[in-house]
Amino acid sequence: MKHLLAIADLSPAEFNQILATAKKLKAEWRKGGNKAILKNKTLGMVFQKPSLRTRVSFDMAMLHLGGQALYLSPNEIGLGQRESVADVARVLSRYVDGIMARVFAHAHVVELAQHARVPVINGLSDYEHPCQALADVLTIIEHQGQLKGLKVAFVGDGNNVARSLMLACALGGAHFVCASPKGYTLDEAAVARARALAATSGGSIELTEEARAAARDADVIYTDVWASMGQESESAERARVFPPYQVNAALVALAKPSAIVMHCLPAHRGMEITDEIVDGPHSVVFDQAENRMHAQKAILAILLGSKTPKK
């Protein structure tokens, strides 16, 4: 494991190693603090998109593990505009021990990894959000005891979060159902990849246009914003199409009594999810937010903890 660019790139062993390490580091942190296993290590954080959870969770993860994080704003780099992606990768590799990039185009994070001499982590791209999916799986296991065999229902846009969650569920042997309106479903290539993984793990992948069918007897109901950053011009049309996919009390009532409700945040309350669900007894939304830090500690420990050159 030289980089973390996509859930699809992980082997089952790497996937399980990250989760086990995250669990261990979280327990250690709660007992009084983590060991400084990344002392004198620095993470360069490249941002094209603003963020609360990604920035703070990576910053705190490095701090807790004894390292430092350096925030680089969109104006400071101009990735692919002011300076080529390849040159940014080459320069940063001379300064830092790892690069985290939160970008629009997935191709940018792939190109960073191709030219960097240090590990590159995808903090979010338009195609995948692997750090979020790993935090999500950690949260599911904490609350439901396991991932394998669970019905995980994603209700809403077949976006980067849905794609990474689907692939993580496929790796972990869950039964993933995605309910999206026509024209907003997950892409065929990612679904085919997930189905191939699920065939090995004992999981399954299902797509539907029926939110109620997805939610029925679900162990997990997950949703995200209807229009992501970069899709602002589509907001009005999406607001017209997506209301039947709102996660509300009526939808959650179809799930198992023990079901948990998830959202990667920020939430548009009253749109994709109601206040009573975000703040209600089924919600684990803020546990998810915390677990971003713990999952990312595991990723950092695995990628930056070794002194062996990564490339």
Task: Give percent above pLDDT 90 in the chain.
Answer: 90
Residue 229's pLDDT band, with cuts at 50, 70 and 90, is: low
Give the rounded distance of the alpha carbon of 30 from its chain centre.
23
Round the average pLDDT of the chain to a whole number and report it. 95
What is the reported pLDDT for 92? 97
Which domain, by its residues, includes 263? 132-289
- Set 108, 115, 175, 292: catalytic member: 292
What is the reported pLDDT for 9? 93
- Whether residue 311 lies inside any domain: the answer is no
Residue 309's pLDDT band, with cuts at 50, 70 and 90, is: very low
Q: 234 with 154, same domain?
A: yes
- Set 97, 108, 131, 132: catalytic member: 132
Catalytic residue status for 224: yes
pLDDT at 248 over 90: yes
Count up the domains in the chain and report the number. 2
Give the mean pLDDT of 166-170.
98
C-alpha closest to that of 247 among 228, 227, 220, 208: 220
Q: 76 with 33, same domain?
A: yes
What is the reported pLDDT for 79? 77
Task: Give percent above pLDDT 70 in the chain.
Answer: 97
219-228, 230-239, 279-288: range with lowest mean pLDDT: 230-239
Q: 264 with 122, same domain?
A: no
- Set 97, 224, 246, 282: catalytic member: 224
Q: Which two tokens stand for residue 288?
A: 């998810």
- Whether residue 207 lies inside any domain: the answer is yes
Catalytic residue status for 102: yes
Give the best-scoring range by mean pLDDT among 69-78, 168-177, 228-237. Answer: 168-177
Q: Determine the Cα–Cα distance for residues 224 and 262; give it in Å rounded to an integer.
A: 9
Tell me the per-residue pLDDT of 12-50, one tens digit each, with 9 for 90 and over.
999 999 999 999 999 999 999 999 999 999 999 999 988
Residue 81's pLDDT band, with cuts at 50, 70 and 90, is: confident
Q: 121 with 152, same domain?
A: no
Tell me which residue has tokens 């940018």: 108
Q: Determine the Cα–Cα distance for residues 207 and 200; give it in Å rounded to an integer.
A: 19
Domain CATH code at residue 38: 3.40.50.1370
Catalytic residue status for 175: no
137-146, 167-176, 221-230: range with lowest mean pLDDT: 221-230
Q: 70 with 206, same domain?
A: no
Catalytic residue status for 132: yes
Catalytic residue status for 296: no
pLDDT at 196 over 60: yes
Catalytic residue status for 82: no
